Amino acid sequence: MSTTIYYISNILIIICLASSLLQTRYLFNINKFNNLSISFLATIQLFSILIAFGLLIYLFLISDFSFELVYLNSHSEKPLIYKLSGVWGNHEGSMLLWILILVLFNFFFSLFSFKRKIFQNLTVSVQSLMIFGFTLFILFLSNPFKLSENNYADGIGLNPILQDPLLAIHPPVLYLGYVGFSLVFSFAIAGLICKEIDKTWASIIKPWVFIAWSFLTAGIALGSFWAYYELGWGGYWFWDPVENASLMPWLAATALIHCVVVLEKKNTMQSWTIVLAIMTFSLSLIGTFLVRSGILNSVHTFASDPGRGLFILIFLFIVLFGSFFLFAIQSEKINKPDLSSLVSRSTGIQINNWLLMTILSVVFIGTMYPLATDLFLNQSLTVGPQYYAITITPLIIIFIFFMIFSPRLGWKESKLINLIMSMRFILISVLSLSFIISLYFDLFNLSEITIIFLSLILVFTSLKSGFRPSGKNTIIKSNLGQNIAHAGFGIFMIAVVSNAVYSKEKIYDAKVGDSLELSGYIFNFKKIEQVEGANFNSLKAYIDLEKEEKILDEFTPEIRFYSDPPTITSETSIIHKFFSDIYVVMNVPQNQQSVSVRLHIKPFMNILWFGVIMIILGGLITAFLKRTRIDEV
């Protein structure tokens, strides 16, 4: 049985490899196979990988340990959902997932009928070239269907820190984002080859860019939320290299979606758009490279293999070199002049795009610098959160400033004074509101006040222009998505700053019966007991939350002891109140007498996630609301 599956799955991968190679024919002008339609081959690509992926899921579900991957990453006693998520909780499986999403995007894109057929053919060809590369990679360097040489009675199991419902969906969502930009990249290459990067080009790619961007945002947010409650360090973003690796493509992608909008409206900024499309996808590849190569010192690097890193590096080199070479010889022919004046919306977008690039360079340098000094100067260095706070804060202030004003400027030319007059009511009310807020909450740090002040203006102006109907027949304005996302970003920034300022924490060495205190709350340590879980034993503490003599709720933080593989994890217990999270985490006991308990009060966490959800929603609305009718192209 196992050997049958082994052969079937490898044959399926080879079928995908072959059909992808055939799909690349338009790149080389081979007219031999013109009777094979691209959608037919795309269907074969999709189904071969889909069935292979289904087989891999099946192997994990039935715990077939004759396959090495299942043996290394699963265990017969693991709950069903983690058997499933074990499929992509490892290198080989996640690469197969990566390919599945590549062929999925390729398939959907090949379904549409275009009048400019050559665009579609070339895009699918470039996309298939990538599918070919990655399929080759999994076939020879990272085959998920490798039979193990020994007979194992049971598997090693999935790293318990990854056994979490959120982390089961985090990789697929993130990959939908990363890989979504492969399609944008392919489309950019097709546009470069045809020398036709114009309004039509932008209107075709726009929904795809926004979908990919929304998934990337959601994927990062899920990871961040997971880190918040699973790692138990009280934070939601640690400027960890792997987090940075996903933030970099996001920053480039955010600049890209704005370029695509300008291109669609004004037929300018062609070079920007192309460079950003190439950059976003390359950074997605670098993200994969950084995570998968094991050169990072990080909690996330659960797969380490330099050989595979080398492959991604060569692949990346080909992508970068090839696309920039093409760009260099074609860029003169694609660029259209920018006719707008200095005070205009497109200037605002250009400035903010540059700010995004600057933030990206901060993240890039901050991540790479310690690696570089270590490698070339033999000096190790830590670039911690404070570096990012110092460098990014001033950039964010200017960024929000332009986010407020540029959407309210005309595309061609505007008078600043008119703009300020039209916003006078909001400006005055927000100014007084932030004055009251800063007095009431003792907020005297200039940059904090400025960010909160500007973010409030951003929220109000965005909401105002997003929901006020303009014409008689328009109920929903076409920029609804934009305004929701911008308002969401304002809300997010307010939450980030207030959270940083007002977070409180205290560490106690506590015994049963102790009453601990943090900002007016009393934590009564009632008892601690041993509990048996699905595939772990745990030490569970019961702590009552009390305020003003009333018991409000109960915390149940845990220390879990997993045996397959042997790992100890600390499970946080969080009570989400409207304005703040109260967060309790136990450390692994060092002695019999007491246990170290850490209490956190994290204000505005709900509001922070709400802001993120608004950002994602805004992206999805823009993707689906005003779709350009592709059949007219």
Partner 1 sequence: MKKICLIFFLLISTNMSIAEENRAINLFKEVRCLVCQGQTIHESNAEMAEDLKEVIREKIDQGQTDGEIKSFLIEKYGNWIIMTPPFNGLTYLLWFVPLIILLFGIYFILSKKSHKV
Q: Which of 114, 229, 238, 324 binds partner 1 (CB under 8 A)?
A: 238
Q: Which of 34, 113, 304, 379 binds partner 1 (CB under 8 A)?
A: 379
Q: Is 381 in the site for partner 1 (CB under 8 A)?
A: yes
Q: Is 351 in the site for partner 1 (CB under 8 A)?
A: yes
Minimal distance, residue 75 CB to partner 1, in Å: 24
Q: Is 313 left (phi over 0), alpha (psi -120 to 50) or beta?
A: alpha
| Alpha helix ranges (H) inside 141-198 | 165-194
Tally Cβ neighbours within 10 Å of residue 221: 20
In this structure, are residues 103 and 46 in contact, taking their beta carbons and an 8 Å threshold?
yes
Our measurement of the distance from residue 565's CA atom to the centroid of its chain's CA atoms, rounded to an integer in Å, reads 28
Candidates 62-70, 80-88, 293-301, 421-429; binding stretch for partner 1 (CB under 8 A): 293-301
Minimal distance, residue 622 CB to partner 1, in Å: 25
Q: Is 230 in the site for partner 1 (CB under 8 A)?
A: no
Minimal distance, residue 370 CB to partner 1, in Å: 8
Minimal distance, residue 393 CB to partner 1, in Å: 12
Q: 122 or 363: whose CB is closer to partner 1?
A: 363
Q: Is 369 in the site for partner 1 (CB under 8 A)?
A: yes
Q: Is 508 in the site for partner 1 (CB under 8 A)?
A: no
Site for partner 1 in 383-442 (CB under 8 A): 383-387, 390-391, 395
Residue ranges of E strands in 458-565: 504-510, 515-518, 521-532, 536-547, 550-555, 558-563
Question: What are the distances in angstroms from CA 273 to CA 165, 197, 256, 489, 547?
Answer: 37, 9, 6, 23, 55
Q: Which of 118, 339, 431, 531 binds partner 1 (CB under 8 A)?
A: 339
Q: Is 354 in the site for partner 1 (CB under 8 A)?
A: yes
Q: Which of 37, 341, 429, 447 binds partner 1 (CB under 8 A)?
A: 341
Minimal distance, residue 170 CB to partner 1, in Å: 19
Minimal distance, residue 619 CB to partner 1, in Å: 25
Of 502, 538, 576, 631, which is closest to residue 160 (Cα–Cα)?
Answer: 538
Q: Which of 10, 331, 358, 606 binds partner 1 (CB under 8 A)?
A: 358
Residue 600 φ then ψ, to 5°: -125, 145
CA pair distance 59, 63, nearest whole angstrom = 6
Question: What are the distances in angstroms from CA 266 to CA 339, 414, 435, 561?
Answer: 9, 16, 40, 60
Minimal distance, residue 605 CB to partner 1, in Å: 18
Site for partner 1 in 572-601 (CB under 8 A): 587-588, 590, 596
Q: Which of 234, 294, 410, 533 binds partner 1 (CB under 8 A)?
A: 234
CA pair distance 555, 224, nearest whole angstrom = 22
Q: 340 or 462: whose CB is closer to partner 1?
A: 340
Radius of gyration of the chain (CA): 26
Number of amino acids touching partner 1 (CB under 8 A): 42
Q: Is 299 in the site for partner 1 (CB under 8 A)?
A: yes
In this structure, are residues 191 and 119 in contact, taking their beta carbons and an 8 Å threshold?
yes
Helix, strand, coil shares, percent, the chain, to 5? 65, 10, 25
β-strands 573-576, 580-586: how paired?
antiparallel
Of 290, 82, 288, 289, which is closest to residue 167 (Cα–Cα)?
Answer: 82
DSSP letter, residue 63: T
Q: Is 382 in the site for partner 1 (CB under 8 A)?
A: yes
Q: Is 331 in the site for partner 1 (CB under 8 A)?
A: no
Q: 339 or 531: whose CB is closer to partner 1?
A: 339
Q: 68 or 164: whose CB is closer to partner 1?
A: 164
Residue 42 corresponds to which tokens in the numbers above?
């795309």
Contacting residues toward partner 1, per CB under 8 A = 233-234, 238, 240, 297-299, 337-339, 341-342, 347, 350-351, 354-355, 357-358, 361-362, 365-366, 369, 373, 377, 379-387, 390-391, 395, 587-588, 590, 596
